[in-house]
Structure 1
Amino acid sequence: MTRPDTPTLDRVAGPADLRRMDDRTLARLADELRAEVISAVSETGGHLGSSLGVVELTVAIHAVFNTPMDKLIFDVGHQCYPHKILTGRRDRIRTLRQEGGLSGFTKRAESAFDPFGAAHSSTSISAALGFTVGRDMGKPTGDAIAVIGDGAISAGMAYEALNNAGAEGRRLFVILNDNEMSIAPPTGAMSAYLSRLYANEPLAKMRSLAEGFESALPPPMRDGAKRARQLVSGALHASGTLFEELGFDYVGPIDGHDMTQLLPVLRAARARATGPVLIHCCTVKGKGFAPAEHAADRGHGVAKFDPATGTQKKGAGGPPDYTKVFGRALADEAARDPDIVAVTAAMPSGTGVSIMADRFPGRVFDVGIAEQHGVTFAAGMAASGLKPFCAIYSTFLQRGYDQVVHDVALQGLPVRFAIDRAGLVGADGATHAGAFDVAYLSNLPGFTVMAAGDEAELVHMVATAAAHDAGPIAFRYPRGTGAGVARPERGQVLPIGRGRVLREGSDVALLSFGAHLPQVQAAADLLERDGLTVTVADARFAKPLDMDLIRQLARHHGALVTVEQGAQGGFGAMVLHALAAEGAFDRGLAIRTMTLPDRFIDQASPEAMYAAAGLTAQDIAARALAALGRDARVVPLIRA
């Protein structure tokens, strides 16, 4: 594949090189950097649109501020690819999101230029304020610059941080990357005029310049600029913006792709700021790459693609992925029950509820990046008599855990939690791995917790959740394709707390919880090749447990092995606790629990990640043999 010609970028070993360039050279650098990002992501896949939207902004920040002494903190971090290229990682950028390669997000362990790790949203201002306090208390750190998008700033945590930062009054820079609209003015005289104004006016007068900027634009652009200012205003006719009311000096909106605006504004702000400053930059997600700019999601997450056409490489055909199975099953249930509604936190496509939204748009609610609000919103709907499905990734649901406990579980409200991205997720790495939900939900009184062993089971669990009004219920399923089993036209309501036996033997029992069932079946095949007979059971429920099934497995087999795609303290721990309470260990019991290890696992293919976790079919078979003992006679260890 032909790589772009990048003579200016080739002279950059780190941000210090940018500070020796003139403004015209920096503009050329931004063009070459954009080409390099497109070229690299075409080979790796990843978050393309968001990275293209901040190319000029990233160049300008590194050219003006003294990174890494000054701390540049990207919110979420999926827009950090240009930053990584400029900060000494260009030689590894084509290992992005691959095993042993660069993370797709900022990561402290990766570079001194990544002062704060991210991947979940709305954390940057809080972290920047922390660095600011550290600076003011004598720690060796300079200014802090938080770059946060208009989506991320919608979350409550961002406003909590803004309120605190405004009250503190410390010198701090927040850059609002607003890619909802473009107000790009024509180049030439207008840009030169604005540059002179921004360079010469005191900081306190900068915010008033936006009105003159708006009036000088043609009518369509003028309306866009006005709407951009209203985004951050307390009211349509407020005398000051919301940020000013919170104690920030507000500058903008400015064109985030015009270096003749960005550089003077950042330089003036850095030179003159004494307290917190918010700089409002309007950008275009996917800027400079037409296929991304014209895509519905602006190229947010892409597979490998042809950089000439933008055509993404399609995966091999096969079973549908779990997310689509859920989305279709939910839409079908909603067609039969008008009380079913769905809630998502800015991930309608990612969670599959977009399928229901296409059929029943008035019954699907996207609350933005606000998981805490989304959970309590769903609780309120449940209290009203509706049947809400709250579809949130496992790691994102962690952000609303207090609400799960206080607003849902404590009140016994029948909110249905559809938990996508259960288990290890591949290229997104540890930040998106659904390791903890089984543990953090199973300890809540009144909760029912399920996990789908295959895509047919997921259809049944959607139906089961829809029919369950006795309290909160959750079901988890992984990212990626299903096991290839036939799916029912309509899900059946499962008996609560009952598992199923898939094959029967007498030597060892393998008890699976969730989507690792194919690997458990493969482990049983390996054991049977060694002459053992194996029972394979699918628990279906972590809470309530199927104790009749578990007792039978323990009593009639030489060993019992539980397997799950979750952390310690989850399903296996529930089984151990229940058996211990019944005194099973007093009579002798060979049991092993297989979980994710007590460490975070970096990005790789899911298969490689599970191998690193010790959860392959071979690992499961070896653990079963170890539980039996090399010379162990295969006899029951619990007597009826």
Structure 2
Amino acid sequence: MKSPLPLPETLLAGLSGPDDLRALPRDRLAALAAEIRELIIGTVLTTGGHLGPNLAVVELTIALHRVFCSPRDTLLFDTGHQSYVHKILTGRGHAFATSLRQPGGLSGYPNRAESVHDVIENSHASTALAYADGIAKARALTDCRDRAVVAVVGDGALTGGLAYEALNNIGAAQHRPVIVVLNDNGHSYSPTFGAIAAHLAQLRGTVGRDSRTASWSRPANPTVFEQLGLAYLGPFDGHDVGALETALRQAKSLGRPVVVHAVTVKGKGYGPACADPERMHTASPKPVVPKPGSPTASWTDIFAGELVDLGARRGDVVAITAAMPGPTGLTRFAERYPDRCFDVGIAEQHAVASAAGLAMAGLHPVVALYSTFLNRAFDQLLLDVALHRLPVTFVLDRSGITGPDGPSHHGMWDLTLLGTVPELRVGVPRDAVQLRVMLDEAVAHTAGPTALRFPKASVDAAIAAIDRVGSLDLLYRCGAPQLLLVPIGPIAAECVAAARNLTDSGIGVTVVDPRWPLPVPTELLELAAEYEHVITVEDNIRHGGIGAHLTRALGDAAIDLPVTTMGLPQRFLGHGKRAEILIAAGLSATGITETALRHANHLRR
């Protein structure tokens, strides 16, 4: 890919790594920061990526690499989407400019395969402090106490419970120094919410006044960090490299757990990102102008509109999000029904357990999460919601392949996880019409929890059913009952196209959308028994997915029938374009056709 912004032949061009940065005179750092911002803005607006968070940490990251010697000293970023400056300063500036988030190119998060300076591959928040605690323990046990352990943590990450579990352990070990750099810009994706946000806002009000120094002693009115046993330095201007360097050296000299509080501006240096930090948290590549009549609405848009309509019809419907009301489609609901929408911060476990409480008290919660983040609350889903057979609806955005955010964001395990939960109905709508219908069906279900999943994508044209068998939709049928294709969700369009190809090859084929594939519907077993072969197609890993459930259910019903399961491989898939990853996995009309033809030799012809 051609570089959207070639590295200028100035300061950045002369930096091959942190050693060069440390040798740079301090009076050149402001110019360096400006070059880095120019590179980030030009690249991200072309390739897409996280814009606001990285513009906020330019000076902070410069100071970190001038005070600490990575990789000898360990630098951890929580979350990893604020690591662009770190990548640029550790010798990856050209790769950043030319390949960020492109197939085979630089990851948008820390990546251990890219550099020795990347220690953890984290893009789920609130984890770095636990990593830091473990690394500090190892440093103590292996007599490497002269190697600093530094965790850069956003204020949004401090809304997650795991962060406090780690702080509880870090603060209790005064002999194990961990430096917690609090990057406080008042936001996670959206403005940070809750009591800790109010506490930090109060502390931010003192920025620019005399800050606590290396001669730290417990003050009369300790911060929450000091109450947990950590020293506290700050708050400092997070865009003053000199002040940050002084503070970090002070923290290093204390030889104990310490918090350095840096106040930053999300989107610093780019007017649109400062004016709208939530919208410019991420930036998409320059949009392609759609062809006349082509669908442009996303799955999230359709859900957002239907939830508002549902809220008007049902006063018992409430919504919950974990710090992402915009990306999960809850902003419109929150604007219309502010008292019925709850943002709990980056705390998926609390979101789900709190939903259980809401349901116990007679309401119907709709918990809107990214598919990948539901992993963090599996225990609550299983034992707090499903065990109690509570009517909670989970709406999982970004299911299947998400694309450029890579392995941590693909929602390719959700059907496997959801399929292990008793009393849970799982629906996968194939188009916008079905999403609206099935959301209504989910909220009307009172015997237990339900879940709906859909991808990060535009919604394709609706596929009308040609017939209905119980709860199943028949989408295509031609010829003798030989091959039954069972697509899960939006992949139905590819299966219908493949079915036409197979008809042209003389194979009798039917395409059926189960709509609610878990638990496996009895009607699907009865329909499958009429055919010679079944092929299931899903954008979930094959292990434990819908195909595996259908195979087992057929066996339990003593129906001897070969089943071919098509899905994603059971390995971590890299970043890339969603369509290309699906094609590589064989989940396209061509791939489905080829797979079906390979298994067609035993069909009666």
Note the alpha carbon deviations across 1:474-532, whole angstroms, 9 max, x for none: 111111111222899xxxxxx99822111113231101122211111121122122222
Which residue does 1:559 correspond to in 2?
533
1:204 aligns with 2:224: no
Letter in 1 for 2:238: G
Give % identity: 41
Which residue does 1:130 correspond to in 2?
134
1:96–1:2 distance in 2 versus 1, CA, 3 Å: closer
Measure how far apart 1:628 and its partner are.
2.1
Question: Counterparts of 1:162-181 in structure 2 under 5 Å?
Answer: 162-169=167-174, 170-180=176-186
TM-score by length of 1: 0.86
- Identify the range of structure 1 (45-54 vs 288-297) with the bigger mean alpha-carbon deviation: 288-297
1:102 aligns with 2:102: no
Letter in 2 for 1:498: S
Q: Distance in 1 between matches of 2:598 and 2:256?
A: 63
Question: Counterparts of 1:543-558 in structure 2 under 5 Å?
Answer: 543-555=518-530, 557-558=531-532
Q: Distance in 1 between matches of 2:315 and 2:335?
A: 15
Measure how far apart 1:425 and its partner are.
0.6
Note the alpha carbon deviations across 1:377-403, whole angstroms, 9 max, x for none: 111010010011011111101111111
The two structures, once aligned, show a CA RMSD in angstroms of: 2.4
Alignment length (residue pairs): 577
Which residue does 2:584 correspond to in 1?
612
Note the alpha carbon deviations across 1:374-430, whole angstroms, 9 max, x for none: 001111010010011011111101111111111101111111111111100111111
Aligned mate of 1:593, from 561, 565, 568: 565
- Identify the range of structure 1 (49-58 vs 608-617) with the bigger mean alpha-carbon deviation: 608-617
Which residue does 1:49 correspond to in 2?
52
8 Å contact from structure 2 (residues 5, 39) kept in 1? no
Measure how far apart 1:542 and its partner are.
2.3
Which residue does 2:153 correspond to in 1?
148
Which residue does 1:67 correspond to in 2?
70
Q: Secondary structure at the match of 1:19?
A: helix
Aligned mate of 1:476, from 429, 447, 453: 453
Q: Distance in 1 between matches of 2:521 and 2:474?
A: 12
Q: Secondary structure at the match of 2:258?
A: strand
Question: Counterparts of 1:560-579 in structure 2 under 5 Å?
Answer: 560-567=534-541, 568-579=543-554
Measure how far apart 1:440 and its partner are.
1.2
Measure how far apart 1:5 and its partner are.
4.2
Which residue does 1:214 correspond to in 2?
none
Which residue does 1:231 correspond to in 2?
none
TM-score by length of 2: 0.91
Letter in 2 for 1:620: I
8 Å contact from structure 2 (residues 57, 82) kept in 1? yes
Letter in 1 for 2:163: A
Measure how far apart 1:549 and its partner are.
2.7
8 Å contact from structure 1 (residues 515, 565) kept in 2? no
8 Å contact from structure 1 (residues 342, 391) kept in 2? yes
8 Å contact from structure 1 (residues 513, 541) kept in 2? no
Which residue does 1:634 correspond to in 2?
604
Q: Distance in 1 between matches of 2:272 and 2:225?
A: 35
Letter in 1 for 2:216: A
1:466 aligns with 2:443: yes
Q: Distance in 2 between matches of 1:578 and 1:374?
A: 33
1:626–1:291 distance in 2 versus 1, CA, 3 Å: same
Question: Counterparts of 1:215-226 in structure 2 under 5 Å?
Answer: none
Question: Counterparts of 1:106-117 in structure 2 under 5 Å?
Answer: 106-117=110-121
Q: Secondary structure at the match of 1:52?
A: helix
Which residue does 2:497 correspond to in 1?
522
Q: Distance in 2 between matches of 1:360 and 1:10?
A: 52
1:487–1:501 distance in 2 versus 1, CA, 3 Å: closer
8 Å contact from structure 2 (residues 206, 235) kept in 1? no
Q: Distance in 2 between matches of 1:202 and 1:176?
A: 17
Measure how far apart 1:359 and its partner are.
1.5
Question: Counterparts of 1:381-400 in structure 2 under 5 Å?
Answer: 381-400=358-377
Measure how far apart 1:129 and its partner are.
1.1
Q: Distance in 1 between matches of 2:19 and 2:110?
A: 20
1:446 aligns with 2:423: yes
Q: Distance in 2 between matches of 1:351 and 1:47?
A: 17
Aligned mate of 1:87, from 78, 86, 90: 90
Q: Distance in 2 between matches of 1:451 and 1:145?
A: 43
8 Å contact from structure 1 (residues 420, 479) kept in 2? yes
Q: Secondary structure at the match of 1:432?
A: coil
1:268 aligns with 2:267: no
Letter in 1 for 2:177: R
Q: Distance in 1 between matches of 2:214 and 2:262?
A: 19
